[in-house]
Amino acid sequence: MNMFFKTLLLLGISFSLVSCDLAERVSDRAREINNFEKAALALAKENRELKNHITQLKFDNQSLKSQISFLNIQLEKKGTKKQDRTLASVPPVQNDLVKFSVYKWQPQQMISMADKAYKSKDFEKASQFFHSLILNYPKSNKVDDQILFQAGISAFESGKHYDWTLTHLNKLIEEYPESKFFRGAKLWVGLTHLKLGDKAAFFRTVEEFRKKYRNTKEWDILSVRYESLIQKYK
């Protein structure tokens, strides 16, 4: 009997140990599952928050696009009004040969008319067409350094539009420093100042050429004018 009871006791102890180990394993598994569920819930919440954030960003982006579109429209309107005011503020030319408001010339048509007049030495007509071209089509790729140079020279030779000469040639000097017309533009700017009686500005041009461009045809022209002035005011 003692042996039987000992066996039962051992079996009971073994079963108890097995039950405890199983219970612990079940408990660990339950905790693991619970942790997974918590993590899944957290990820789901985070995913919802991200989706909401993306939706808000899309809304904000669309709002910004609408605002930018509105601002661009306002800027275009403002630019148009400003251009209209600028064109309206330009004093009309006496004996207007271009009549741009009537004929609505295209850039190439104006260049052809100006070039033809320039070659025939009709500098008044040439200067008006060049000036109107630059005024009405300032962004045209046809308005290059050569056009600006011819516009300046024809305006000077017309004997009437020295302000146009300074405007167009100074634009050439500023925007095309590598142009083959660069020195010529500086020369004619100096001669224009002389023509307008601004001898100080003319002498500054002479001094610049004397220091930088002594061995050029432009210096030969300026030096002759300079010498004649020296003789006149000696």
In this structure, the answer to whether residues 105 and 197 fall within a common structural domain is yes
In this structure, the answer to whether residues 33 and 69 fall within a common structural domain is yes
pLDDT at residue 223, as a whole number? 86
Instruction: Spell out the alpha helix ranges (H) of the chain.
Output: 2-89, 100-103, 107-119, 123-136, 145-158, 162-175, 182-195, 199-212, 217-232
pLDDT at residue 49, as a whole number? 74
In this structure, the answer to whether residues 112 and 225 fall within a common structural domain is yes
Residue 109 has pLDDT above 60, yes or no: yes
pLDDT at residue 4, as a whole number? 55
Query: How does residue 128 score in pLDDT terms, banded at 50, 70 and 90?
Result: very high
- Pick the last residue of a domain from 89, 110, 142: 89
In this structure, the answer to whether residues 194 and 85 fall within a common structural domain is no
What are 157-210's pLDDT values in tens digits? 999 999 999 999 999 999 999 999 999 999 999 999 999 999 999 999 999 999
What are 138-170's pLDDT values in tens digits? 999 999 999 999 999 999 999 999 999 999 999
Q: Which 3-state string (H, E, C) describes 156-198?
A: HHHCCCHHHHHHHHHHHHHHCCCCCCHHHHHHHHHHHHHHCCC
Residue 122 has pLDDT above 90, yes or no: yes
- Pick the last residue of a domain from 89, 109, 126: 89
Number of domains in the chain: 2
pLDDT at residue 61, as a whole number? 56
What are 8-64's pLDDT values in tens digits? 555 555 555 555 555 566 566 667 766 767 777 777 777 777 766 675 665 455 545
In this structure, the answer to whether residues 195 and 131 fall within a common structural domain is yes
pLDDT, average across residues 124-138: 96
- Percentage above 70 pLDDT, the chain: 65
Domain housing 53: 1-89
In this structure, the answer to whether residues 129 and 186 fall within a common structural domain is yes
Distance CA 41, CA 34 (A): 10
Q: Is residue 200 part of a domain?
A: yes
Distance CA 128, CA 99 (A): 10
- Return the sign of the alpha-carbon dihedral for residues 113, 117, 118, 124: negative
What are 72-98's pLDDT values in tens digits? 555 555 554 444 444 444 567 778 999
- Pick the last residue of a domain from 64, 89, 114: 89
The answer to whether 154 and 164 have CB atoms below 8 angstroms apart is no
In this structure, the answer to whether residues 28 and 84 fall within a common structural domain is yes
In this structure, the answer to whether residues 163 and 217 fall within a common structural domain is yes
pTM for the structure as a whole: 0.61
In this structure, the answer to whether residues 135 and 73 fall within a common structural domain is no
pLDDT at residue 158, as a whole number? 96
Q: Within 10 A of 123 (CB to CB), how many other CB atoms are there?
A: 20
CATH of the domain at 146: 1.25.40.10
Q: Is residue 95 part of a domain?
A: no
In this structure, the answer to whether residues 85 and 150 fall within a common structural domain is no
Contacts of 133 (CB under 8 A, 6+ apart): 105, 107, 110, 111, 114, 140, 142, 143, 147, 151
